Amino acid sequence: MKYIVIRPWHGVEKGAVVDLKHLHPALKTNVRLIGGEVAELVPATFDPAGNKPPTKGAIAKRLKELQIEFDGRKSAEELAALLPDSDPLKPTTE
């Protein structure tokens, strides 16, 4: 059975997944059982498409390049609304 480590012990890091056939009572409070679909771990993969929204800093930098006045206290969505429609940083509305 697979367990996730809550309290680490010698040689095991917190958050590690361990596979134990029999859980010793001394370790019972240190681990939590992983069940169902979570037990089937899938390695993380890099998303080459880069579908992340632009950061507030990137939008502010682009607004400075375009010499558009803006209030730096506004959110990233509000700053993105100030960008021209043809700008690549402006999110597309679907």
Cα 62 vs. chain centroid, distance in angstroms?
A: 24
Q: What is the pLDDT of residue 54?
A: 83
Q: What is the pLDDT of residue 30?
A: 94
Q: What is the pLDDT of residue 78?
A: 92
CB 88 within 8 A of CB 50: no
Q: What is the pLDDT of residue 74?
A: 92
Q: What is the pLDDT of residue 43?
A: 67
- Summarize pLDDT for 13-28 with one digit per residue, the tens: 999 988 889 999 999 9
The answer to whether the pTM exceeds 0.75 is: no
Angle subtended at Cα 60 by Cα 54 and Cα 64, rounded to the nearest 5 degrees? 135
SS3 label, residue 36:
helix
* Residue type present at position 45: T
* Residue type present at position 13: E
Q: What is the pLDDT of residue 45?
A: 66
Strand 2-5 versus strand 17-19 pairing type: antiparallel
Mean pLDDT by 10 residues, the chain (94 residues): 91 90 92 73 63 85 93 91 87 66
Q: What is the pLDDT of residue 64?
A: 94
Q: Where are the domains of the chain?
A: 2-37, 52-94
